[in-house]
Amino acid sequence: MKVIGITAPSTDSGKTTVTLAILSKLSNSTGVKIGPDYIDGGISSKLTGNRTWNMDRWIQGRNYANILPSLADSFDYAVVEGVMGMYDSGSQIDLSTNYYFERLKIPYILVVDISKLAESAYHIASGFLRKSNIGVILNKYSSDKHLEMVSREFKKHGVRIIGAIPNDKEYSIPQRHLGLYTSLEIENLRTMAEKISRNIDFSFIEEAGTIKSRNVKRKSSSHVLHRNDVKIAVAFDKAFNFYYSDSLLRLEEIGKVQYFSPIKGEPPEDSDFVYLGGGYPELYADELSKNYKVSEFLKNHSESGKPILAECGGLMYLEKEMVTDKGNLKMVGVFDGVVNKNSKLTLGYTKLRSKRPSILFRKGELVYGHEFHYSTISDDSEKVLTNILGKGISGEDGIQVHNTLGTYSHFSLSRYFKRLSRVIIDNK
């Protein structure tokens, strides 16, 4: 499998649009996103028709190194999009794009936003041009004269210019205060990506790296035999679509996965386990509050003792109320708290300690996740997790009622799969 990396000196330089442009021209390709981002991954999945995979050694542990080799038998190309700027990490351990590119020997393209630069663009970029760099893409030039001024300095220093993209709103993905629009909200994605791709010289593929396949053993799931009689329901619509592909793949190893839409009021016919991922439930609170069939299904499922995992947006949905511009709207009510919208973003990695056993964690276990939300929750229920890093719910996280666990943190289920699989099968 051929692999190429995409990075930049800073965030908002155009990594995602360049990644989409390249994927649009590579047959049998898949995207890989460094870091815990689920929005970029959803967008590239919509473009390729294949899952996009996260690679993050904080949330996945050592499993991160198996992601690319595990894909090599299925795909001809993988485009690995970096996180933030190339050297940015801001963590207790090195989680920068540069770390992954060096450790996994991934050659890369540097995307440089030149909208407010001329000759200085090269001198800013020069600190990011390591031996494994195969060239640059100059993004957001305003005129041919502007492009020539910028290009001259790169050419003078022997840096290959792989592409140049004009500064045009037509070439950008729409954003809101919560971040990029999700894949389910973006139209004409392929048209946009293909237009951008016309500004790129694809001969760089000759310098792409090679990842060899190897038999990746899944120790944590070796005891699990796929059972067609085990039914797993995953919420997926505009309100709930923040999922890591490795988590969904692991659930498919247990049983038959079906998707349902709480927004449309479509409860699954039957299920042994329900997974409510993150998303933007606050944007669709009115619709969610009116879909009594789904609420009733989730309440009954929880009260029966069958397991439910609800992450962030899923937790918000299972609380009693959500405060909105239309007033206090009734949510599912499995938990007894109130959700309030917040103008401030809570974003970052989390590290927690499990205070008592839950459907996902053992007592005393250190837990690694990620939080991303514009909300706060008031819920006095006993928590099963204590935050060592991250905010959670006033320094704690994890509410469990029966076998229903709600958390503000998002997790890679591949890391905590062994316990979860046993809970699902034991409660069948």
Active site residues: 312
Return the ∠ at Cα 69 (arms to 64 and 74), rounded to 5°: 120
Residues contacting 345, CB < 8 A, separation 6+: 372, 373, 374
Residues contacting 37, CB < 8 A, separation 6+: 54, 83
What are the DSSP calls for 44-71, one per residue? HHHHHSS--EEE-HHHHGGGGGGHHHHH
Which residue in 19, 30, 11, 14 sits closest to 70, CA to CA? 30
- Rounded Cα distance, 323 and 333, in Å: 14
> What does DSSP assign to residue 155?
H
- Rounded Cα distance, 197 and 23, in Å: 9
> What does DSSP assign to residue 320?
S
C-alpha dihedral sign at 239, 236, 382, 334: positive
**Half-sphere exposure (CA, 13 Å, Cβ side) for 363?**
3
**Residue 189 CB neighbours (<10 A):** 16
Which residue in 378, 373, 407 sits closest to 279, CA to CA? 373
- Rounded Cα distance, 38 and 344, in Å: 20
Asked whether 385 and 407 are in contact (CB, 8 A), the reply is yes
